Amino acid sequence: MSTYWATFKKVLAGMLEKPMWAMLLLSLCIISMVYAKGTVWEMPVGVVDLDHSSASHLLSRNLDASPKLNVKSYDQLGQAERDMGYRKLYAVIEIPVDFEKKMLSGKSVSIPVFGDATNRLPNGQIQQNVLAAYQQMLNQYEVELMMKSQFTQSEANVVLTPMTGLTLPLFNPGISFAAIIFPGLLVMLLQHSLLIASVRVCLMMSTEGRPKLPVVLGALSALIPIWLFLSIVLFALWPWVLGYKQAASIPEILLLTFPFLLAVLGLGRLLTECIRRVEIIYLTLSFITTPVFYISGTIWPLQAMPSPVRFISSMFPSTWAIKAIAGVNQMGLSLREAMPDICMLLLLFALYSLASFILTFLRDRRLISRFIHRGSQH
């Protein structure tokens, strides 16, 4: 036990003396500035009005009244498409000729919307705002026509909306799409930095020969207090600064993060045993982070992935940590509902640790047999 505590204090003092892990906070500040606004506002949209009627002007005003759109009027479609090609516009909306005439005569009217396919999130929001503005314009025209037919305002509202629905958000992830992506980004930052630190510590101990088990446990345990502190900054303090919803308390965040850190340390120990060369390990960690983020379920649902990809995703701690932390901290789930994810993290920690010990045993046994074989030859 004395060896464990001596190694724990030595590694912890070394990490605090040269806090290179603090670079994580700097990278966090730089990356998270992308999500500082919370969502996309005042997106420039071009409107080409070829009808110049009361209905087309009303539709343009409704579009401009949306807080997420900034309408710019154009006389010709070619000029608007040219500006969209130069990335001055997110989309172009064309109001066709005889728009009001066809609408009042009951004919079907289509409003072409040209969008940039490289901007998925803005395109979805623009489509929703166009539909909302068009529906609002139709309701106003329908109410006016019904009032001309001797309907009262209340009667017209009852005919148009006989049932008033109320939508209650069962799970409220926050104010925007960024509130879903942000926890996944933080988990990946925490996992990548801890993997590098754990591999570095394991390699430093291996330079002095095969370290004993108390030394390994003491060195890896010294990383846990630092990364628990970083987890509080990443999952509690910084989202609060940016104004994102926080449903979990600090003790709950620590209870969610601790199994995740154990699983990452187990994975780091296994990577060290599998790949002994320093440069190969760092190159491996640099290249696997982006694929792991894509298959973690943050930007694409796990249910839509092929079974082999889902299996590979389930072998990484970040997949379960994102689900647990985002569920409790952003969606308001209880710790009991996140318990299956916590159990999976503990199971991964056990599997990684067992696999690393088996590899160590096999390697030591091979070295001993090779040494005995050489001795017998001499």
Q: In DSSP terms, which residues pair with 115 in a beta bridge?
A: 91
- Closest C-alpha among 344, 343, 207, 352 to residue 265: 352
Non-local (6+) Cβ contacts of 236 within 8 A are 246, 248, 250, 253
Q: What is the pLDDT at residue 375?
A: 52
Candidate CATH numbers 3.40.50.12280, 2.60.40.1120, 3.30.450.40, 3.40.1710.10; the one for domain 43-160: 3.40.1710.10
> How far apart are the C-alpha atoms of 159 and 154, rounded to whole Å?
9
- Closest C-alpha among 56, 52, 126, 124 to residue 89: 126
pLDDT digits (tens, 9 = 90+) for 43-62: 888 999 988 888 888 888 88
* Phi, psi of 44, deg, nearest 5: -70, 125
Q: Cα torsion at 85, 87, 91, 93 (round to 10°)?
A: -60
> How far apart are the C-alpha atoms of 108 and 115, rounded to whole Å?
22
Q: Give the pLDDT means over successive 10-residue stretches in the chain (378 positions).
A: 79 76 73 65 86 87 84 88 84 87 79 73 74 80 76 72 59 52 82 84 70 78 88 82 77 91 90 74 72 79 84 90 84 85 93 87 64 53
Q: What is the pLDDT at residue 4?
A: 79
Distance from CA of residue 201 to its chain's centroid?
29
> How far apart are the C-alpha atoms of 34 and 9, rounded to whole Å?
38
Q: What is the pLDDT at residue 364?
A: 66
Q: Tokens 């309701």 label which residue? A: 139
Helices (H), 222-333: 223-232, 238-242, 250-274, 278-294, 307-314, 317-329
Spell out the SS3 assignment of 269-288. Answer: HHHHHHCCCHHHHHHHHHHH
Q: What is the pLDDT at residue 352?
A: 92
Q: What is the pLDDT at residue 172?
A: 47
Q: In DSSP terms, which residues pair with 45 in a beta bridge?
A: 71, 91
Report angle CA 346, 11, 20 to the nearest 5 degrees: 90
> How far apart are the C-alpha atoms of 338 and 257, rounded to whole Å?
12
Contact 252, 335 (CB under 8 A): yes
Helices (H), the chain: 2-17, 23-32, 54-65, 77-85, 99-104, 120-148, 153-160, 178-206, 213-221, 223-232, 238-242, 250-274, 278-294, 307-314, 317-329, 339-377
Q: What is the pLDDT at residue 173?
A: 45
Residue type at position 11? V
> How far apart are the C-alpha atoms of 256 and 346, rounded to whole Å?
11
pLDDT digits (tens, 9 = 90+) for 158-183: 666 666 665 555 544 444 556 667 77
> How far apart are the C-alpha atoms of 245 and 235, rounded to whole Å?
11
Q: What is the pLDDT at residue 117?
A: 63
